C-alpha cells in the first residue's frame, strides 16, 4: 500500500501526464486534487493520443477509480464533452467519481476571466471561480442536484454578477431561469459520477490500495509559493493534495516531483533562465514543427523556453519535500553542442549571489539574473532509450549533476512520449 503525490516542479507542462499514466497501471485510485480545465494533459498510449483537461488520465486503464477531488473547479460543459469523447472511444467510465464539494465554473466566471485577466490566464474561468469560493459565494457540484438549492444560490449571486458584467465591463447579463435550467440539466448528466470521495479514499487506504494524487500546473504557478502574482489560483504543490483531496499528511508516503530537463513557461511573469524566443537555442528547445513541440495543450500558445534552473528547482524541492524526481524530455537536449544550467542568481542591485530563495515572488525574481554554467552536449541519442546503461555517458552525467545539485535522486527518466520510453530506476509502488 503506497500513496504517492505527483506534482510539477516548474511552471506546469513538465510531462506530469506521461508519468501519471506510467504509474497509473499500478495505482488503484488516481485523484486530481486542484485546478480545472486550465490544465492540459497529453497522453500517448496504445489506444492512441489523448488530451485530458479534467479527468485523470488513469481512466485509460480499466478497473481504476479516478477521482476529481474537492479542491478542483469544474466547468460542467467542458467535463461532459470530455466524458462523451471517452464514451465514444468505448473507454470504461465506471470508475469516474466526482466530489460533490468541487466548485463549479459558471458562465460569468469564464467571461470575467477573459475580461479582467492580467497574467496571461488560460481564459477558463479559474481565477473567478476560486475567487467566489474564497468569498463564500461559490456554487458547488452538489448544488447542481437540487433545484431549490441552486435557485437560492443563483438568486443571491447572479444579480450582483450581472451588475458587474454590465456596469464595469459593458458585457451581457445572464438570465437566471436559463442558467438554472441549463445547470440542473448538467447536474442530471453528472449525477451518476457524483460520489462521496472522502470515504472512498479513507476506505481505499484502509484496504491497502495504491493511491496516486495527481497535481495540475506546477510549483511556480502555486498561488502561495509561485511567482506571485503570475500564478494560478490553487495549490499545485504536493501539500495541495491533502487539502484538495481531503486526506491528512500521514496518508502520503512519497512525493514525486516532475521536472523537464530544461524549463518552459506559458503566460506572463518572470523567467530568469529564459532564452529569447528567436534565439536558435530556443527554437531547438521548442522543437518547432515537431509533434511534441512546446505549444500549450489547452491554449495552443507558444511556450517560452529556457535552461534548467537549479535555484528554482531547489526551491521547489523544499516547498514540496520531494522524495524523488522524474526528469522528462532529456532527448530534447541530444542535439546541443553545449548545454547551460542555471546554478545561481546574482541580485542585480546588491550583487548578492543567491542559491536558496526565501520565496519566488515576481518582485524578487525580476531583480535576479541567472549564473549559467556550461555543460558539454553529449550529441548522442537518448530518444526512446529504455535502460540507464544504454544512455550516453554525457546524459548520465547531466542527470547525476542535477540530482546532486537538488539533493534528490532522479528515479525516472523519460526519453519519449510513450509509456515504454521510460527508464525506471526505482519502483515507487512498493512499500517505502
Contact between 37 and 29 (Cβ < 8 Å): no
DSSP assignment of 277-324, as one string?
A: TTSHHHHHHHTTTSTT-SB-TTT-PBPEEE-EEHHHHHHHHHHHT-SE
Applying CB under 6 A, the span of 36-44, 90-98, 339-347, 371-379 interacting with ligand IMP comes to: 36-44
- 206 three-class SS: helix
Q: Are strands 65-68 and 48-52 parallel, antiparallel or unpaired?
A: unpaired
Which residue in the set 97, 103, 124, 286 belongs to the binding site for ligand IMP (CB under 6 A)?
A: 124
Out of 232, 235, 310, 332, point to the residue binding ligand IMP (CB under 6 A).
232
CB of 217 to ligand IMP, least distance (A): 5
Residue 73 binds to ligand IMP (criterion: CB under 6 A):
no
Per CB under 6 A, the list member of 1, 101, 119, 283 interacting with ligand IMP is 119
Total number of residues shown for the chain: 432
Is 13 marked active-site? yes
- Asked if residue 208 lies in contact with residue 19, where contact means CB atoms within 8 angstroms, the answer is no
Crossing angle of the two packed helices 107-116 and 147-169, in degrees rounded to 10 = 20
CA-nearest of 262, 263, 271 to 226 is 271
**Which is nearest to 127 in space by CA: 110, 145, 143?**
110
User: In this complex, which beta carbon is closest to ligand IMP, that of residue 52 or of residue 378?
Assistant: 52
| CA separation, residue 417 to residues 19, 21, 307 (Å) | 10, 11, 21
Among candidate residues 13, 21, 222, 309, the one labeled active-site is 13
Pick 297 or 386: Cβ nearer ligand IMP: 297
Q: Can 169 be counted among the known catalytic residues?
A: no
C-alpha pair distances (Å), 44 with each of 17, 117, 123, 408: 9, 32, 26, 28
Residue 43 is a binding residue for ligand IMP (CB under 6 A): no
**Which DSSP string do the residues of 28-81 spell out, in sequence order?**
SEEEE-SB-TT--EEEEETTEEEEESSS-GGGGSTT-EEEE-TTBEE-HHHHHH
Which residue in the set 43, 102, 221, 256 belongs to the binding site for ligand IMP (CB under 6 A)?
221
Kindly indicate which of the ranges 61-69, 114-122, 168-176, 270-278 contains the residues binding ligand IMP, using the contact rule CB under 6 A.
Answer: 114-122
Q: Does 319 bind ligand IMP (CB under 6 A)?
A: no
Is the backbone peptide bond immediately before 229 cis, with ω within 30 degrees of 0? yes
Q: Which residues of 276-302 are buried (b: 16+ CB within 10 A; e: fewer)?
A: eeeeebbebbbbeeeeeebbbbbbeeb
Binding-site size, ligand IMP (CB under 6 A):
21
Q: Is 40 in the site for ligand IMP (CB under 6 A)?
A: yes
CB of 84 to ligand IMP, least distance (A): 22
Which of 44, 65, 72, 121 forms a contact with ligand IMP (CB under 6 A)?
A: 121
Retrieve residue 351's grid coordinates.
550583487
Closer CB to ligand IMP, 13 or 28, in the complex: 13
**Alpha-carbon gap, residue 313 to 321, rounded angstroms:** 12
For residue 414, the minimal CB distance to ligand IMP (Å) is 17
**Going residue by residue from 2 to 31, which x/- string records binding to ligand IMP, judged by CB under 6 A?**
---------xxx------------------
Under the binding rule (CB under 6 A), the answer on residue 38 touching ligand IMP is: yes
The CB-of-106 to ligand IMP minimum distance in angstroms stands at 15
267 binds ligand IMP (CB under 6 A): yes
Rounded to the nearest 5°, which phi and psi values hold at 399? -65, -45
Stretch that binds ligand IMP, among 136-144, 168-176, 215-223, 357-365 (CB under 6 A): 215-223
260 lies in the site for ligand IMP, by CB under 6 A: no
Question: Is 79 an interacting residue with respect to ligand IMP (CB under 6 A)?
Answer: no
Locate 28 and state its grid cell. Answer: 488503484
Instruction: Establish if 39 lies at the interface with ligand IMP (CB under 6 A).
Output: yes
Which residues contact ligand IMP (rule: CB under 6 A)?
Answer: 11-13, 38-40, 119-122, 124, 126-127, 216-217, 221, 230, 232-233, 266-267
Catalytic residues: 13, 41
Amino acid at each position: 500500500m503506497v500513496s504517492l503525490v505527483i506534482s510539477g516542479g516548474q511552471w506546469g507542462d513538465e510531462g506530469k501526464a506521461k508519468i501519471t499514466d506510467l504509474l497509473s497501471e499500478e495505482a488503484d485510485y488516481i485523484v486530481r486534487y486542484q485546478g480545472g480545465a486550465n490544465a492540459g494533459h497529453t497522453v500517448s498510449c496504445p489506444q492512441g493520443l489523448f488530451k485530458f483537461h479534467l479527468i485523470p488520465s488513469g481512466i485509460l486503464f480499466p478497473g481504476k477509480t479516478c477521482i476529481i477531488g474537492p479542491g478542483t473547479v469544474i466547468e460542467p460543459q467542458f467535463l461532459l464533452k470530455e466524458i462523451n469523447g471517452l464514451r465514444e472511444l468505448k473507454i470504461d467510465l465506471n470508475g469516474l467519481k466526482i466530489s460533490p464539494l468541487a466548485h463549479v465554473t459558471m458562465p460569468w466566471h469564464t467571461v470575467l476571466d477573459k475580461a479582467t485577466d492580467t497574467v496571461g490566464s488560460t481564459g477558463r474561468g479559474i481565477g473567478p471561480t476560486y475567487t467566489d469560493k474564497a468569498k463564500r459565494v461559490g456554487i458547488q457540484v452538489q448544488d447542481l442536484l437540487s433545484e431549490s438549492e441552486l435557485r437560492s444560490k443563483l438568486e443571491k449571486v447572479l444579480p450582483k454578477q450581472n451588475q458587474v458584467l454590465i456596469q464595469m465591463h459593458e458585457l451581457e447579463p445572464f438570465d437566471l431561469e436559463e442558467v438554472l435550467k441549463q445547470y440542473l440539466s448538467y447536474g442530471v448528466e453528472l449525477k451518476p459520477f457524483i460520489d462521496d470521495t472522502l470515504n472512498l479514499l479513507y476506505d481505499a487506504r484502509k484496504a491497502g490500495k495504491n493511491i496516486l494524487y495527481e497535481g495540475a500546473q506546477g510549483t511556480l504557478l502555486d498561488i502561495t509559493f509561485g511567482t506571485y502574482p503570475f500564478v494560478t489560483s490553487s495549490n499545485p504543490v504536493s501539500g495541495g493534495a491533502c487539502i484538495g483531496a481531503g486526506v491528512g499528511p500521514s496518508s502520503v508516503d512519497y512525493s514525486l516531483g516532475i521536472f523537464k530537463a530544461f524549463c518552459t513557461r506559458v503566460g506572463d511573469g518572470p523567467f530568469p533562465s529564459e532564452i529569447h524566443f528567436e534565439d536558435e537555442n530556443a527554437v531547438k528547445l521548442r522543437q518547432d514543427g515537431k509533434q511534441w513541440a512546446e505549444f500549450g495543450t489547452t491554449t495552443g500558445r507558444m511556450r517560452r523556453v529556457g535552461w534548467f534552473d537549479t535555484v528554482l528547482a531547489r526551491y521547489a524541492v523544499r516547498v514540496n519535500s520531494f522524495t524523488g524526481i522524474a526528469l522528462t524530455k532529456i532527448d530534447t537536449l541530444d542535439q546541443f553542442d553545449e548545454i547551460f544550467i542555471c546554478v545561481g542568481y546574482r541580485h542585480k542591485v546588491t550583487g548578492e549571489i543567491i542559491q536558496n530563495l526565501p520565496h519566488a515572488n515576481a518582485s524578487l525574481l525580476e531583480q535576479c539574473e541567472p549564473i549559467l554554467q556550461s555543460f558539454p552536449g553529449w550529441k548522442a541519442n537518448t530518444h526512446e532509450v529504455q535502460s540507464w546503461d544504454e544512455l550516453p555517458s554525457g546524459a548520465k552525467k547531466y542527470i547525476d549533476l542535477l540530482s546532486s545539485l537538488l539533493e534528490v535522486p532522479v528515479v525516472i527518466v523519460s526519453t519519449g512520449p510513450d509509456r515504454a520510453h521510460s527508464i525506471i530506476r526505482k519502483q515507487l509502488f512498493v512499500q517505502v
